[in-house]
Chains A and B, each alone.
Chain A
Amino acid sequence: MYIYLPIAEISMHIGIILGLGGGVGFLSGLFGVGGGFLMTPLLIFFGIPPAVAVATEANQIVASSVSGVLAHMRRGNVDFKMGGILLAGGVLGSSFGVMLFKYLRDMGQIDLVIKLSYVVFLGIIGGLMLLESVRAILRSRRPGAPRRKLHQHNWLHGLPLKMRFRRSKLYISALLPLAIGAFVGLLAAIMGVGGGFIMVPAMIYLLGMPTSVVVGTSLFQIIFVTANVTLLQSIQTQTVDFMLAGLLLFGAVIGAQFGTRASALLRGEQLRGLLALMVLAVCLKLGFDLVVQPSDLFSVELLK
């Protein structure tokens, strides 16, 4: 059964949409990640216009972040003060990002920028994750090897506007989380991701937050940033496909449950290694398509 997506303006088999939602939902349940960075490129591979894929995925991430954050709130794993600063930066960054998005779209270059951003970030993140998990696997085989220090002091901690974050046990400049929030917000708008895959390492390695509050706080601010992106994209570019988002969500809810169960069968390092390989595969496919000469150098787009 085919379903006509009113904003993407293409007809797609409902099995593909539900399968994508379910598949990425499964992976997000398995790996405990949002899945936006896998879903957006997959939607593009399946012919959804990149601009629609990005804006629609932002809408879907609102839902998955809400569902994630509630559990963390109950456990007290959300630093609301830190989250508030991050999301202030995030709203600034994502608002600028949507403006940039519209400008690039009018120039006819948005597809390129989306794909390039994916190649760069998936390449970096996938590479680092693979390295990390290989190291972890090797380390687990050689017990007694020295562990790396998690929290280091450097020049970033000398910035002005210092604030105390009790929940994170930190006394650092507010400019740092503001800047991180703004940068991740910009990526959220351009790439249709929550940005957890950048936010979480940034919180641990740059801010030095305790790992227990990192995921909850990241999810907390992602809700507001992706909600902001959804709203601004709806107003400025009309690229949020509500029907597509709803169907993907439906598939994702079911997929996530199976993923969570499957995650019990694999060890953490192996899981992260697998995820890294998957991220790199998507990165290579996107990069390959950009580098190889297209079969037709000309393309058309109906302007309405």
Chain B
Amino acid sequence: MIRAAVIYMLAICGTLAAGIYPAHAGRIVADLSEANVSITSGFHGTELLLFGAVDGRETDDIVVVVSGPPTDVAHRRKAQVGGIWINVETNIWKDAPSLYQVLATRPLAEIANAETLRQLHIGANTLELQLQSEKTQPGAKTPEPGAFLQSFARNMASTGLWPSDTGPVKLTDGALFRADVQLPANVISGIYDVRILQFRDGIVFSESQTNIYINKGGLSAMIYNFAHDYSLFYGLFAVAFAVAAGWPQWYSAAADNANYSH
């Protein structure tokens, strides 16, 4: 993990030449109240505290971007066919972030201009995602992502995984910052990427990165793994359990079934 961080820092140094970053980069140190989250049977979403120190000024801004492990997402459109509403079109977004959340000290538009935000991929509307039609017939038209991205972001927002509002970040004396990262109950397991950016006068002054590791744990992990890795035995076990559960029940429920006659 430390090595990954070092590599990442080197990568940042590399991007300095791109011109987005000024020559005199500051420094951010960030940590999470909990880096490992376990989806256990009692899991109902959780809130993590992201906190840290920054070498900055009171007028600086902090932007935090949390993105979940990339996953394919089916995006379906309904239309009325014969009086009922059915799915008539399916497109697949390739490797879309399964969670996408932006937190900032101020509204994004006041922190940097749209072009800068787009280059840094801050905000759901700046994501460069590939869209493909589910049926890849030869000569099939590849759908245009731009036209669909807005409705996609809206649909993802309604699942709670891509909150449309920018969450708050509190920056104290230009030195200490803190933000609450909300993980809804339907997060998937995997490695989550947390980017922390320090903005000064509309440009990135420094940047840091950390990870959240989400895993299924406890009984729910056991059941999930059992169901997927040994599905035959899972099925047999489920049937055996049901038969056993039905057995002692008969003296109570039997009477009513026996009474049932036409």
A residues within 8 Å of B by Cβ? 1-7, 9-11, 28-33, 59-60, 62-68, 70-72, 75, 77, 108-109, 112, 116, 200-201, 204, 211-212, 214-215, 219, 223, 227, 230-235, 238, 240, 242-243, 245-246, 249, 253, 256-257, 259-260, 263, 290-294, 296-304
Contacts and interface: CB of A to CB of B under 8 A. Distances in A.
Contacts of B90: 108
A232 to B, nearest CB: 7
Give 9 nearest A-B pairs by CB, closest first: A234-B235, A32-B260, A66-B246, A71-B254, A62-B242, A2-B44, A63-B246, A11-B185, A68-B257
A185 B241 CA distance: 21
6 contacts: A3-B41, A10-B186, A65-B246, A72-B258, A253-B252, A260-B256
B87 A109 contact: yes
Contact of B231 (A75, A234, A290, A298): A234
B36 interface: no
Given A71-B255, A290-B84, 16 more contacts: A3-B42, A29-B253, A32-B259, A60-B242, A70-B247, A108-B76, A116-B84, A223-B243, A230-B242, A234-B234, A249-B245, A253-B249, A296-B151, A298-B77, A299-B155, A303-B92
Interface stretch (B66-74, B117-125, B168-176, B198-206): B66-74
Contacts of B75: 298-300
A230 B237 CA distance: 10
Most B-side CB within 10 Å, residue of A11, A246, A249, A293: A11
Contacts of B39: 4
A59 B239 CA distance: 7
A195 B257 CA distance: 15
Nearest to A62: B242
B78 A294 contact: yes
Nearest to B71: A302
Contacts of B253: 29, 64, 67-68, 253, 256-257, 260
B57 interface: no
B79 interface: yes
Interface string B118-162: 000000000000000010000000000000000110111011000
Nearest to B234: A234
Given A59-B242, A263-B256, A299-B76, A6 B154 contact: no
A268 B96 CA distance: 56
B220 A32 contact: no
B228 interface: yes
B44 A4 contact: yes
A11 B220 CA distance: 11
B109 interface: no
A32 B256 CA distance: 5
Contacts of B257: 32, 67-68, 71-72, 215, 219
B155 A70 contact: no
Contacts of B42: 1-4
A165 to B, nearest CB: 18
Contact of A296 (B155, B234, B246): B155
Contacts of A211: 261-262
A242 to B, nearest CB: 5
B130 to A, nearest CB: 14
B221 interface: yes
A243 to B, nearest CB: 6
Contacts of A71: 250, 254-255, 257-258
A233 B238 CA distance: 11
B73 A67 contact: no
B83 A291 contact: yes
A303 B258 CA distance: 45
B238 A297 contact: no
B258 A256 contact: no
A240 B230 CA distance: 13
Given A291-B83, A298-B77, A298-B151, A242 B234 contact: yes
A302 B188 contact: yes
Residue of B72, B216, B234, B235 with highest tally of chain A CB at under 10 A:
B235
A254 to B, nearest CB: 9
B87 to A, nearest CB: 5
A302 B98 contact: yes
B61 to A, nearest CB: 31
Contact of B44 (A11, A63, A66, A112): A11
Contacts of B254: 67-68, 70-71
B114 interface: no
A301 B161 CA distance: 12
